[in-house]
């Protein structure tokens, strides 16, 4: 399990693969996480939903803290889909998260919260939903370590990839510094990953395409390689 809590702070090398535990069997969560980390996952992506910002409920800081205890060297990538992200930064920092992303749709000016996240010892990410124009986030991207482009409307795993999201990726990729990451989330699978990588993404989130696969290592290396699927 060669994992690196600083994966998102390290210089960009190969694309990072972030399995979303939303599609894991929650009754066997520890085992499932061990398997994906052993299979080459770079991050564990935690989808935090409050039943208000999105129409689903998932997990809270207690799950993050348990994963931290079980996997001390794993990089925990928290994706807050909540109406009041400021309320949850400290609880997730205390629970051992390494990274915290929140949505532009939940705030007016995201910069103060990026500062709070970094002051809490985590890297900060800004997320944009499919209906939100890219111009809404452009004035703020310099203040973040990572930009996350949603390629589904968040709430559930297993949805179809919204291809127009790649227009945002193509526009943002050349504008980011070499120390910033561009992540994509939703409907990423063996068919869509090559397009995501070609457009400029270097962190791929995948729930169904990893946890729904019979061979996690094959799924992860397939996503990373970006080889087009015939």
Which residues carry out catalysis?
47, 185
Residue 108 CA to residue 96 CA, distance in Å, equals 27
Quick one: which of 100, 172, 204, 205 contacts ligand DX5 (CB under 6 A)?
A: 205
Quick one: which of 85, 125, 187, 222 contacts ligand DX5 (CB under 6 A)?
A: 187
The verdict on 195 binding ligand DX5 (CB under 6 A) reads no
* Interface residues toward Zn ion, by CB under 5 A: 47, 79, 185
Six token digits for residue 93: 């920092």
Please give the size of the binding site for ligand DX5, defined by CB under 6 A.
Answer: 22
32 and 167 Cβ atoms separated by less than 8 Å: no
Indicate the DSSP class of residue 206.
Answer: E
51 and 27 Cβ atoms separated by less than 8 Å: no
Residue 156 CA to residue 172 CA, distance in Å, equals 25
- Convert 117-166 into a string of H (helix), E (strand) and C (coil): HHHCCCEEEEEECCCCCHHHCHHHHHHCCEEEEECCCCCCCCCCCCCCHH
Kindly write out the interface string for residues 142-171 of this chain, putting x where it contacts ligand DX5 by CB under 6 A and - elsewhere.
Answer: ----------x-xxxxxx------------
State which residue, 47 or 145, has the beta carbon closest to ligand DX5. Answer: 47
Which of positions 79-138 make contact with ligand DX5 (CB under 6 A)? 79
Q: What are phi and psi of 112, to 5 degrees?
A: -60, -35
The verdict on 51 binding ligand DX5 (CB under 6 A) reads no
How far apart are CB 202 and ligand DX5 at their closest, in Å?
Answer: 17
State which residue, 174 or 208, has the beta carbon closest to ligand DX5. Answer: 208
Q: Given the rule CB under 6 A, which residues bind ligand DX5? A: 20, 22-23, 45, 47, 79, 152, 154-159, 185-188, 205-209
């Amino acid at each position: 399990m060669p994992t690196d809590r600083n994966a998102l702070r390290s210089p960009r090398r190969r694309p990072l693969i972030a399995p979303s535990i939303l599609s894991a069997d929650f009754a066997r969560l520890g085992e499932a996480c061990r398997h994906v980390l052993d299979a080459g996952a770079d991050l564990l992506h935690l989808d935090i939903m409050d039943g208000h910002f999105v129409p689903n409920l998932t997990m809270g800081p207690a799950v993050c803290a348990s994963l931290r205890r079980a996997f001390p060297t794993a990089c925990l990538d928290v994706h807050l889909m909540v109406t009041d992200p400021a309320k949850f930064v400290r609880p997730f920092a205390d629970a051992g998260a390494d990274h915290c992303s929140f949505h532009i749709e939940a705030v007016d000016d995201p910069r103060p919260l990026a500062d709070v996240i970094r002051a809490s010892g985590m890297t900060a990410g800004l997320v944009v939903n499919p209906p939100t124009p890219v111009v809404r986030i452009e004035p703020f991207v310099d203040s973040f370590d990572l930009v996350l482009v949603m390629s589904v409307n968040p709430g559930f795993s297993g949805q179809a990839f919204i291809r127009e999201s790649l227009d945002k990726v193509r526009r943002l990729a050349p504008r980011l510094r070499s120390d910033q990451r561009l992540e994509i989330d939703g409907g990423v699978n063996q068919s869509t990953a090559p397009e995501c990588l070609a457009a400029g993404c270097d962190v791929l989130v995948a729930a169904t395409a990893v946890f729904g696969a019979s061979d996690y290592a094959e799924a992860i290396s397939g996503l990373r390689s970006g080889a087009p699927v015939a």
